[in-house]
Structure formats: structure tokens, C-alpha cells
Amino acid sequence: MPFDLPRHNWTKDEIRDIYEQPLDTLVGQALEIKRVNWADGQLQKSQLLSIKTGGCPEDCGYCSQSSHFDTGLGAEKLMPLEDVVAAAKRAKAGGADRFCMGAGWRSLKDRDVPKVAAMISAVKAEGLETCVTLGMLEDGQAEALKEAGLDYYNHNLDTSPEYYTTVVTTRTYDDRLDTLAKAREAGVKLCVGGILGMGEGREDRIGLIHELSKLTPHPESVPINMLVPIKGTPLGESPAVSVTEMARAIATCRIVFPKSWVRLSAGREGMSEGEQALLLLSGANSIFIGDRLLTTDNPGEDRDQALLDAVGFEAASHEVMEQGAKKTLIDAR
């Protein structure tokens, strides 16, 4: 296959065949494609901040912020602009190149658009890539966020369409696709992935990747999360998915989405250094740093640096990594 050209006609059977290969064959193919499209030995550090925590009316079965579940997390107001800017400055000082802001809302309300837009503009002025996850979007909102300097809109599909209603009932799969379409139409890049370990089967993981592959163009960013079970949520007692299954998902995404960032996201706190290294060596080229994600723990600076030292990776900006991809592609030809 042409390793530098994304395909938009993947069948589920083709993706299944890739996913279920012997792990060494699968990872080998993923790394071959990664080398053609991305410079070796580099990754992007991202950081995530909850700018409005708790009180969400959605019933996503994995989420501590849902008002449907008793998780001990109370509803908070939108964070002041100056606090967001201070957090962004700390993130950049810690090596972050990308700053993501998340709010526990079902959907973005028009009254909050100017406040969030001001946050985006301020973070952008710090020299960071910007990403937000704010729930569903209404007409015109994505355009306002884009004008403020938004680079990415995150809105995960979570799992396959078939398993989705087992996890969420307060919004539909089509609702999610509609929000992605609004962001895309406004010229905002998409950050879309899913969560492994919610009780789904391998066929659902394959189905998620297939759904992502049908988006045209492909999402520029594909985060793969391992469920962090939260006490009090319906999925709070879920058994952990294996790290090798995570590796299969990451490697398959690298093959199916050769030009996309594949982000190793939630779940790293509970992994050993070797397990995290396996996932980086399966094709991921971005991690989230900092002690917290939205409401869950994340490895700290010392563990992250030990991980990078162990695998011989260095942190790089998105500009450097994307230029490296172009150079690698030219050299390969």
C-alpha cells in the first residue's frame, strides 16, 4: 500500500485483518508507516485542563462529572481567564506544546462562547496549540472558536455504534457525528478517538476504528484512552483491558491513519514503564503530561522523563514533527 496516502475506503474486514495479525507483524507494519510519515524518536507533549468541572447532565457511564452518578465530584463554575492562562504558562514551562481545555457540559451555550473564545486566544498567544472539548456544538459556534484561534475540537466517538448505547443514552452517535461535522465545516481540525475497557469486545474496538476511517478527511488527531474506572459510575468496576490490546488498537490506528497524530491518552498512570514503552513503540506519537487529566491522575514529570529516557524519545513541537514528516517522506522517495 502507499504508506503516505490515507485511504477512505477501508472495510471493517480489512481493519479486522490488520488488528488480529500476530503482534510483531502488526507493530512492524505500524512502525514502517510511522517512519515514512513521522520523524523517528520524537513525540508531542500535550496537557489537559478542566475549565469547568462536574454537573454534566449526560449519563456517560465512565464519567465522574455526570450528575447522574454519585462520585463525590461537585459542580464548579467556569474557571476565570487568568487561572487558565496561568495553567497554560505552567504547561508550556513543563514542555507542553499543545494545551487542551475541557468543560463538563452537554453542549456549549452561546453565552459562554465569548468566555471560551477569550481563553483560546490567550492560550494561543502563549505559543501553544489549542484544543477544546465542550460537548455538542450549535450552528455558528465552531466558527467563533476558530476565529479565536482554535486548532482542534475534541469530541470522541467512544466506541462502536453497536455498543454505544450500552455506555451513553442521553445523546446519540449521530449527535456526535453532527458536532464533528460542524467543527470540520468551520475549518477546525478534529480530535476524535475512543476508550478501551468499557466492557466492549474486540469487534467493537475494530468497529470504532472503522467508523473513524469513514470520516473524510480523517481526524487529524486520534486519542486512544484506557478506561480509568471511577467509583460510583456504572463502569466503576470494569476489568482492565490488556496493554497488548491497547497496542493492537494504537498500531491499527497508525496504519489506518498514517498522517494523524495517534495519542496515548488516559490510563498511563496505572501502567508500568515497559507497558507505556510498548504503546509508544506501537505507533503513538503524543502523550498527555501533568499530574491530572480532566479528573483522573496522570504520571508526573519525573515518571514521564524516565519513560522518554528509556525509549530514547525527545519532546518536539508540532511544527518540528510535521516538518520531520515531510522530510522523512522526501527521503523515502
| Residues involved in catalysis | 56, 60, 63, 100, 131, 191, 263
Q: d(Cα 154, Cα 121) in Å, to the nearest integer?
A: 17
HEC states along 116-168?
Answer: HHHHHHHHHHCCCEEEEECCECCCCHHHHHHHHCCCEEECCCECCHHHHHHHC
Exposure string (b/e) for 14-49, b if CB count within 10 Å is 16 or more? ebbebbebeeeebbebbbebbbbbbbeebbbbbbbb
Which cell numbers in the block locate residue 73?
Answer: 465530584
Long-range (24+ apart) CB contacts under 8 A made by 113-117 are: 113/141, 113/144, 113/145, 115/78, 115/81, 116/51, 116/145, 116/148, 117/144, 117/145, 117/147, 117/148
- Range list of β-strands (E), 53-120: 98-103
Supply the Cα-derived Rg of the chain in whole angstroms. Answer: 19
Determine the 3-state secondary structure of 316 from DSSP.
coil
Report the length, in residues, of the chain. 333
Q: d(Cα 54, Cα 43) in Å, to the nearest integer?
A: 31
Contact call for residues 310 and 273 (beta carbons, < 8 A):
yes
Closest CA to 220 of 264, 188, 255, 182: 188
Instruction: Return all residues near 34 (Cβ < 8 A) that are at least 6 apart.
Output: 40, 254, 258, 283, 285
